[in-house]
Amino acid sequence: ESTSTPVEVERKFLCNADTVQRLEEIGAVCVGQRQIHDQYFDTPDFHLTLRDMWLRKRKGCWELKCPTATASETEALGGKQSEAAALCTCYREITSLPEIHLRVTEAIKDTCEDRESEAGFSQEDESWLSKLNLVCFAEFTTVRRSFTLKEEGVQIDLDQADFGYHVGELEVLIPEGGDLQAALEKIRKTAEKLGLTGDQQVKGKMDVFLKRNRPEHYAKLLSEHIL
Ligand code: V4E
C-alpha cells in the first residue's frame, strides 16, 4: 500500500463564461496555465478500466489512478454528507513505476506466476506494455488553468480538452485515512460560494471522449457502473 500517496477528493463542475470572474470574486488565485497531453492504456478487453484503474502517460511519465479505501468510506456516510460525497470521487494517483507495474500486472493476471522483478524499469522502456498486451485507447490534449483557494486548501482546475469539452474540477488532497468529511465539506463550501447548482455528477473528459470515439468500450463501462 502506498500510504504516502495522498488521496484526491474531486468534484467536477460545468464551467461557463462567468466561472473565472466568480473564482476571482471568492479569492481564488490563478497559479498558471499548462498543456497536458494524456495517453491512456488498457488491454483490448478492458482489464484495467473495468477495475476502475486508469493507466496513463502524461508528459512522458506514467501515472495510475486507482480507487481508494476512502471511496467506499463515502458510501457509509449519511444525510447531508452522503449528498456531498455523491458528487465527489476519491482516487489515488500512483507515480512510482515499480508500483504501477506491480498493480497493473496483478490486475491483469489472476495468478502470480511469472510476475517479474519490480526493479529495473525506466520511463522510456515500454516493453512491459506489449508483454501485458496494453494498448492506447484514448489520447487527447487539455489546456488547464489552475487556481487555488489557499486558506481552504482547495485547488480548482478549468480544463479545455482538444475534442471540445470544457469541465471544471474542485480538488482537495488528503493523506490516506485522513479527514474525508472535512475534505468533502471544503468542496461543498467552495461549490456553494461559486454558486454551483445541480445534484448530478458532471461528466469527466474520459466519459465524453469514450462515448464519441470508443462506443463499445463506453457501453461496457456503463453497464459495469464504472462511468
Ligand atoms: C478516474 C477516472 C478517469 C481517469 C481520468 O481522471 P479525471 O479526473 O477525469 O482526469 P484529469 O485529467 O482531471 O486527471 P487529474 O489531472 O485530475 O489527475 S476516467 C474516469 N474516471 C473515473 C471517474 C468517474 N467515474 N466519474 C467522474 C465524475 N470522474 C472520474
Rounded to the nearest whole angstrom, what is the distance from the C-alpha of residue 52 to the centroid of ligand 1?
A: 10
Q: How much is the CA Rg of the chain, to the nearest whole Å?
A: 18
Rounded to the nearest whole angstrom, what is the distance from the C-alpha of residue 156 to the centroid of ligand 1?
A: 14
Q: Which atom of ligand 1 is nearest to the CA of 202?
A: 28
What pTM did the predictor assign? Answer: 0.90
**What are the tens digits of pLDDT across the range 131-166?**
899 999 999 999 999 999 988 899 999 999 999 999
Mean pLDDT, residues 101-124: 72
Residue 97 has pLDDT above 60, yes or no: yes
Neighbour tally for 163: CB within 10 Å: 13
pLDDT classification of 16: cutoffs 50, 70, 90? confident
Length of the chain: 227
Mutate to test the pocket of ligand 1, among 65, 139, 140 (most ligand atoms within 8 A of CB): 65
User: How many whole angstroms from its chain centre is CA 3?
Assistant: 18
Look up the ipTM and state it. 0.95
Rounded to the nearest whole angstrom, what is the distance from the C-alpha of residue 206 to the centroid of ligand 1?
A: 7
**What are the tens digits of pLDDT across the range 27-75?**
999 999 999 999 999 999 999 999 999 999 999 999 999 998 765 676 6
C-alpha cell at 112: 502470480
Rounded to the nearest whole angstrom, what is the distance from the C-alpha of residue 54 to the centroid of ligand 1?
A: 8
Q: What is the pLDDT of residue 75?
A: 67
202, 165 Cβ separation under 8 angstroms:
no
Q: What is the pLDDT of residue 189?
A: 93
DSSP letters for 13-51: E---TTHHHHHHHTT-EEEEEEEEEEEEEE-TT-TTGGG
> Is 204's C-beta closer than 6 angstroms to any atom of ligand 1?
yes
Listed in sequence order, the residues at least 6 apart from 2 whose beta carbon sits closer than 8 Å to its beta carbon are 92, 94, 96, 99
> Is 152's C-beta closer than 6 angstroms to any atom of ligand 1?
no
138, 163 Cβ separation under 8 angstroms:
no
Mutate to test the pocket of ligand 1, among 46, 54, 68 (most ligand atoms within 8 A of CB): 54
How many angstroms separate the Cα of 203 from the Cα of each of 12, 13, 192, 198, 222? 7, 8, 19, 13, 12
pLDDT classification of 187: cutoffs 50, 70, 90? very high
> Is 89's C-beta closer than 6 angstroms to any atom of ligand 1?
yes
Cα 227–Cα 69–Cα 202 angle in degrees, nearest 5: 30
> Is 149's C-beta closer than 6 angstroms to any atom of ligand 1?
no
In the chain, where does DSSP find H-type helix?
19-25, 69-75, 79-86, 97-108, 127-131, 180-193, 205-213, 215-223
Q: Which of 20-29, 62-71, 80-89, 178-187 has the lowest mean pLDDT?
A: 80-89
The domains of the chain, with CATH numbers, are 7-223 (2.40.320.10)
